[in-house]
Structure 1
């Protein structure tokens, strides 16, 4: 697996790098780990922007080893090197990075608002759909919001551009007067009698979205 694939849609948390064992230097954060009981030395450098670079050195020959990054390279030995190499990167990924799927300024405002107001973090529940996530109440464990990236066409808009959306709960009686297919859409991938969708493109102001989130949070208590 390529490095960019492992760290795709991930954001660096610098303070966690230091706790993990990285050392900050002029060109970024440095970390070293032995592979195969010291037969190889793996070096990891992470830039301030979160770009990850690696090198594996054969401690006997002191030459760089690269077969672990060649997809066509097979065999038990290279497989062991590759497994340990990827395990180190996976540990760094899990400990020092966080999900960064939603890029729009409105989505980031929503995530920050929910974190500060309700203390909740996005939960990415589906491996098959890594760009879908939910917020849920801690007391009832019910979802009150879902963030997704979908083509606009899924909402009935004649455009294949990807857009970030939020699904929220609503009292069913309010749906007919709310849905206008401009600012408010039928709940995408949700029960359309109880959920609706907002595009996080600025068509609905942040404060209005926050009020809708508050109502959805309240409805998730039942």
Structure 2
């Protein structure tokens, strides 16, 4: 399972980007940007019900830019959802829990960075 801190460490080590907390109303929402100031990841804590999941607990998720064809394939799997707070065709929400495959997640982060660059 990849935690917020694991993601932040991975991104800092690979892209020298650090989280920016842009939203005053949502102090735990962390934006990650390229050197050109383009968003490539958004880490959030969101209520399960807002994501269309059962339950009201807040869970950590990450929004990443993806190829629309890949997004369609991944959305068929548990833990991959239409993007929350972003364009649903070009962005994907990944639930961060014990079912999240870290290798796949890091590849999606790499892809997102490259897609926005």
Q: CA deviation at 1:190?
A: 0.3
The answer (yes or no) to whether the contact 2:63–2:84 under 8 Å persists in 1 is: yes
TM-score by length of 2: 0.92
Structure (1 or 2) with the larger CA radius of gyration = 1
Task: Write the distance in 2 (CA, Å) between the matches of 1:110 and 1:206.
Answer: 9
Identify which of 47, 64, 67 aligns with 1:151: 47
Task: Write the distance in 2 (CA, Å) between the matches of 1:175 and 1:127.
Answer: 30
Task: Write the distance in 2 (CA, Å) between the matches of 1:202 and 1:108.
Answer: 15
Q: CA deviation at 1:173?
A: 2.6
1:115 is aligned to 2:7: no
2:94 alignment partner in structure 1: 198
Q: CA deviation at 1:181?
A: 5.9
The answer (yes or no) to whether the contact 2:2–2:100 under 8 Å persists in 1 is: no
Task: Write the distance in 2 (CA, Å) between the matches of 1:127 and 1:105.
Answer: 25
Q: CA deviation at 1:146?
A: 0.1
Unpaired runs of 5+ residues, structure 1, are: 1-103
Task: Write the distance in 1 (CA, Å) between the matches of 2:44 and 2:20.
Answer: 12
Q: CA deviation at 1:202?
A: 2.2
Task: Write the distance in 1 (CA, Å) between the matches of 2:74 and 2:2.
Answer: 24
2:28 alignment partner in structure 1: 131
Unpaired runs of 5+ residues, structure 2, are: none
Task: Write the distance in 1 (CA, Å) between the matches of 2:3 and 2:76.
Answer: 20
Higher relative CO (CA 8 A, sep ≥ 6), structure 1 or 2? Answer: 2
After TM superposition, the runs of 4+ consecutive aligned structure 1 residues lying more than 4 A away are none
The answer (yes or no) to whether the contact 1:114–1:121 under 8 Å persists in 2 is: yes
